Structure 1
Amino acid sequence: MNALRHRSTLLATAGAAVLALALTGCQDGTDADSAAQTAASATADAAQGQATGTPAPADSAESNGSAAGGSTGNTGGGDSDTASATTPVCAAGDVGITAATQDGPPYTHLVLTAKNTSGHSCRLTGFPHIQFLESHKQDVPAVAKSKPGTPVVLQAGEPAYALVKLSDGGTDEDNEPVSAFSVVLDGDSTVIAVTAPGSGGVAVDPAKALTGYWTPELRNGADDF
């Protein structure tokens, strides 16, 4: 009701303006028709503006979303780390470990392959704890520079690798033949027996032996030692 009264007042005011302009046009000798047309146009514009009104502002939530790019998803960078932390550590029963010589003779290095045979994801941590000889009960030392930057999470059927140094390859070294050796994983004290490659096994110098960390791939020389 108030809006109707306001509109009627506006139209009445505009009508008065039309009459005033027409009279002024007659007194000044100008074209009354032209003045009347101008005033009528102004009245129509005013009436249209009153009928149309001012558009309501856009919803603030939508506006804020648009300003932020419209994304409401979680873009945090910690998702992969969180998933890795909740993945169970690989146990001895989850993987099969095999050994192969690397490069040609003299065979100074082995490549250990740990394949996830469990049917579920598991996380392989640290490095293989290796003992080559009964006469040397201490684990083969690990090389820190080979440690990967991210957790090694193995999907079912996926492998991880560790490079192992056996000796310097010299003929005067104190090498001993090894046909099988033991490996223990981080988080599981179960001893895994691994067969050495070759019909005669491998020659190991316990004083020179080193092992790398488990990695998703052999990194083309990055872990050379």
Structure 2
Amino acid sequence: MNTLHRSTLLAVAGTALALSLTACQSDSGSTSSSRPATSATVASSPAAGATTAAKDTVASERPGPAASARSAGAKGSTGASSTGATGSTGGRGTASTPLCTARDVRVTAATQDGPPYTHIVLTARNTSGHSCRLTGFPHIQFLESHKQDVPAVAKSKPVTPVVLTAGAPAYALVKLSDGGADEDNEPVSAFSVQVEGDSTVIAVTAPGSGGIAVDPAKALTGYWTPELRNGADDF
């Protein structure tokens, strides 16, 4: 009787222990299956996804070699076009510049600054407000008794045409005499000047309070030049 009762108690205790172990194993399995894997958490992280998308966006917006080449080509075309436009504009040739007339210039006379004192300098200043060409030499007549123009000195002719912008001057050196005491000098207080291509007479006042002494047989004039030149204007 005691043996049977002990056997029964042992069987019940064994069954309870087995049930307890089974329940523990079930709890442990549920805990493991409900925890997500570390790698899965990183892959599905919103921050990681945004970073990847941002990199893809930057890569798609960055121009490739073909786009860079097109951009360089466009800049080169613009530069070439600008250069061509500038070159085609060019400057107006002197042939299209009108001749200076008596109405375009103001002619004055002054004694030459320094020896020889037998010369005066004519200045023709452009007062027209526009550019004009002053060609040739001044056509001068000093005396009513001598209607011939004063001869011009060929070596004083400038190589290029004289183009006067608004307000610019041109000069001509004029020889009055040789300065000898036995010359046939005549006093002149005013004389006439004409510019090339215009028959209008310009009255010019002679410099000095007593006027100038002119020997018509010795008088010479130089060509109009932008400035007086040593050598070419020495006569």
* Same fold (TM > 0.5): yes
1:35-184 map, 5 Å: 83-104=93-114, 107-184=117-194
TM-score with structure 1 setting the length = 0.64
Q: Could you tell me how far apart the structure 1 residues matched to 2:161 and 2:116 are?
A: 33
Could you report, residue by residue, the CA deviation over 1:89-142 in whole angstroms, capped at 9, with x for unpaired residues?
000010000000114477300100000000110100100000000000000000
CA RMSD of aligned residues (A): 2.5
| Alpha-carbon spacing, 1:201–1:187, altered in 2? closer, same or farther (3 Å) | same
In structure 1, what is the Cα distance between the partners aligned to 2:180 and 2:159?
33
SS in 2 for 1:96: strand
The whole-number CA distance in structure 1 between the counterparts of 2:85 and 2:115 is 55
User: Which structure 2 segments of 5+ residues have no match?
Assistant: 1-72, 74-82
SS in 2 for 1:145: helix
Distance 1:74 1:142, change over 3 A: farther
Size of the alignment, in residue pairs?
160
Of Structure 1 and Structure 2, which has the larger fraction of its residues in helix?
2
Structure 2 counterpart of 1:115, which letter? R
**Misfit runs of 4+, over 3 Å:** 71-76, 103-106
Q: Deviations over 1:153-205 (max 9, x none)?
A: 00000000000000001111000000000001111100000000000000000
Distance in structure 1 (CA, Å) of the matches to 2:210 and 2:121: 17
Tell me the percent identity.
82
- Alpha-carbon shift at residue 75 of structure 1 (Å): 7.3
Verify: 1:211 aligned to 2:232, yes or no.
no
Distance 2:128 2:109 in 1: 19
The one-letter code of the counterpart of 2:201 is: V
Going from structure 1 to structure 2, the CA distance change for 1:75 and 1:141 (only over 3 Å counts) comes to farther
For the residues of structure 1 that align with 2:226 and 2:115, how far apart are their CA atoms? 26
3-state SS in 2 of match to 1:112: strand
8 A contact 1:178–1:204 mirrored in 2: yes
Find the partner of 1:197 among 204, 207, 213: 207
Can you list the C-alpha shifts for 1:27-70, whole angstroms capped at 9, x where unaligned?
Answer: xxxxxxxxxxxxxxxxxxxxxxxxxxxxxxxxxxx9xxxxxxxx
Mark the structure with the bigger radius of gyration.
2
Extract unaligned runs of 5+ from structure 1.
1-61, 63-70
